[in-house]
Structure 1
Amino acid sequence: MQDLIKKHVLNGEFESLKQLMSESDFMDFEEAYISCAHEVESTMFYTCILDLMKEEETAELHDLAFLLLVYPLSELKGALDSAYYHADASIKLTDGKEVKSLLQMLLLHAVPEQVISDKEAMEVARQILKLDPSNNVARNVLKDTAKRLDNVVVDFDELNHYRNAK
């Protein structure tokens, strides 16, 4: 399947790729697609997904675009900001009821140059826990973010000490 994906994407044969995608298990297709994009590192893989979205915008296609942008295309300027767009679109298309879509946002919080704020990450983690109370990723984000926010709390005694030292 990977050879066909590469051929169709790199030659701009997006209709043929769409046909291949419809005949495959989507998870298998997604894995093969990401593998091809890693191997070739061409923005044509992203262009193809955008072209497919013109016909029918789905959470699955936004999820695939997200994966492209955070893995094989992550070095491109603005890739993570574009990934945020796709994660947000996927959440909207699933009415915030798909844990997979919500977890994408938490990934954008975990990257060194966070794309979402601690506050937004906590809100997303809470939403995940409403859907999946045993989700360890969401639990850890809540715990770690709460700790970090506690460290930001201003120590008024320390501030008064500095004011009195003047």
Structure 2
Amino acid sequence: MKDLIKGHILSGEFDTAYRLMSEVDFLEFEEHFISAAHEEESTMFYTFILDSIKKEETSELHDLAFLLHVYPYSEHDGAFYSAYYHAERSMILTEYKEVKSLLQMLLLHAIPEPLLSDKQAFDISKQILKIDPDNKVARNIMKETAKRMDKVVVDFSQLSNSQNA
């Protein structure tokens, strides 16, 4: 499938690639798409995503654009800023209720030159823990950022109780 995706996208056959995307499980498409983009690193992959978003904006397409920018395109100037844009759109489209979208944003706090402040990362971690109280990534980031910010005390049991309210 990776070669099919790569062939259609690189030759500008977006309608065929779009049809293929809609016919298979999206996570399977995503895996092959990112793998193909790793091999070629052509901007045609991003052009395809933008064309798809133009037809129907979904959090899944923004998630795919995010992955494209943090993996195959990560060495390109501005890639993480584009990833930030797509992570933010995904969070908005999912009304800040999808853990995957929120975790993407936290990844941009973990890069060598973070795009989020500790406060932003703390708040996003708090939101994740309201949805998924056992999320280890959010717990760790909340603890780390709390240490750097005015020694905030994190009471995880209070977060769990607010979810049950």
Same fold? TM cut 0.5 = yes
Distance apart, 1:41 and its partner CA: 1.0
Q: Determine the C-alpha separation between the residues in 1 that align with 2:115 and 2:38.
A: 22
SS at match of 1:112: coil
Seq. identity, %: 66
Question: What residue number does 1:6 align with?
Answer: 6
3-state secondary structure, aligned to 2:112: coil
Say whether residues 1:15 and 2:21 are aligned partners. Answer: no
Q: Does 1:109 align with 2:109?
A: yes
**CA apart distance, 1:147:** 1.6
CA deviations 1:126-148 (Å, max 9, x no partner) are 00000000000000000111122
Query: Quick one: distance in 2 between partners of 1:2 and 1:30?
Result: 10
- Matched letter for residue 147 of structure 2: K
**For residues 57-136 of structure 1, what are the structure 2 equivalents within 5 Å?**
57-136=57-136
Deviant stretches of 4+, over 3 Å: none
Q: What's the Cα RMSD here? A: 0.9
Q: Name 2:141's counterpart in structure 1.
A: 141
- CA distance in 2 between counterparts of 1:76 and 1:101 reads 22
What is the one-letter code of the residue matched to 2:88?
Answer: D
Q: What is the match of residue 51 of structure 2?
A: 51
What is the deviation of 1:150? 4.4
Question: 1:162: which partner in 2?
Answer: none
**Whole-Å separation in 2 of the counterparts to 1:67 and 1:59:** 12
Consecutive unaligned residues in structure 2, runs of 5 or more: 152-165
Corresponding position of 2:161:
none
Q: CA deviation at 1:8?
A: 0.7
Q: TM-score, normalised by structure 2?
A: 0.89
Q: Which residue type is aligned with residue 148 of structure 1?
A: R
Rg larger in structure: 1
CA distance in 2, matches of 1:8, 1:120: 39
